């Protein structure tokens, strides 16, 4: 996709990427066209004109893997002009989970990818673009959310907790 120009200014492409995680694994797609030798990437692609980035992330995940995803949050906006060697693309990255966990194992490559596969966090292949960086940010966010919830539950008293049923979990947390 060639960069558009507006009033003589070249505009970067707008893309989305989604870190889909499930049972300690990350969903990756094997690209038909390697980028700098890397064939594995996060599900993602270009935002269509008139499309919201959240909708684009859901669409691309479904198109490339066959899996419906629930977005849990924003990882960040990744705009390094060198993140994609083909052209300047800005990515809005999200993290999410399978909408129906019972269908998580049925992922398949479709659209512009050869294959979709779950990878253990400690055994990720070489990734295209800046996707290792995006995954690192997503894992930091997920870990901080879990730590924050754990801390809030541990600090509950009988007068109130920020999470329903948290007082009953104190015995489980020690």
Q: Which residues, including other chains, have CB under 8 Å from residue 7's CB and lie 6 or more apart?
A: none
Q: Are 16 and 47 in contact (CB under 8 A)?
A: yes
Query: Which tens digits make up the pLDDT trace of 122-148?
Result: 999 999 999 999 999 999 999 888 776
Q: Indicate which CATH number applies to the domain containing 148.
A: 3.90.79.10
pLDDT at 172: 32
Residue 68 annotated in active site: no
**Average pLDDT of 21-30?**
96
Residue 147 lies in a domain: yes
Domain count, the chain: 1
Residue 150 lies in a domain: yes
Residue 90 lies in a domain: yes
> Which residue, chain included where needed, has tokens 């690192």?
136
Residue 164 lies in a domain: no
Q: What is the extent of the structural domain holding 124?
A: 5-156
Residue 112 lies in a domain: yes
Indicate which residue of 51, 60, 115, 143 is catalytic: 115
Q: Which residues, including other chains, have CB under 8 Å from residue 36's CB and lie 6 or more apart?
A: 85, 128
């Amino acid at each position: 996709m060639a960069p558009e120009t507006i009033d003589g200014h070249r505009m970067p492409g707008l893309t989305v990427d989604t870190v889909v995680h499930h049972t300690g694994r990350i969903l990756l797609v094997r690209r038909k066209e390697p980028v700098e030798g890397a064939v594995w990437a996060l599900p993602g692609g270009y935002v269509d004109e008139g499309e919201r980035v959240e909708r684009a992330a859901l669409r691309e995940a479904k198109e490339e893997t066959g899996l419906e995803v629930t977005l849990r949050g924003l990882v960040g906006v990744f705009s390094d002009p060198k993140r994609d060697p083909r052209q300047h693309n800005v990515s809005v990255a999200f993290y999410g989970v399978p909408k129906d966990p019972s269908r998580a194992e049925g992922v398949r490559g479709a659209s512009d990818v050869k294959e979709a596969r779950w990878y253990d966090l400690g055994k990720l292949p070489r990734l295209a673009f800046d996707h290792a960086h995006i995954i690192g940010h997503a894992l930091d966010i997920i870990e901080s959310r879990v730590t924050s919830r754990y801390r809030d539950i541990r600090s509950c008293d009988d007068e109130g907790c920020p999470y329903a049923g948290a007082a009953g979990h104190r015995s489980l947390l020690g």
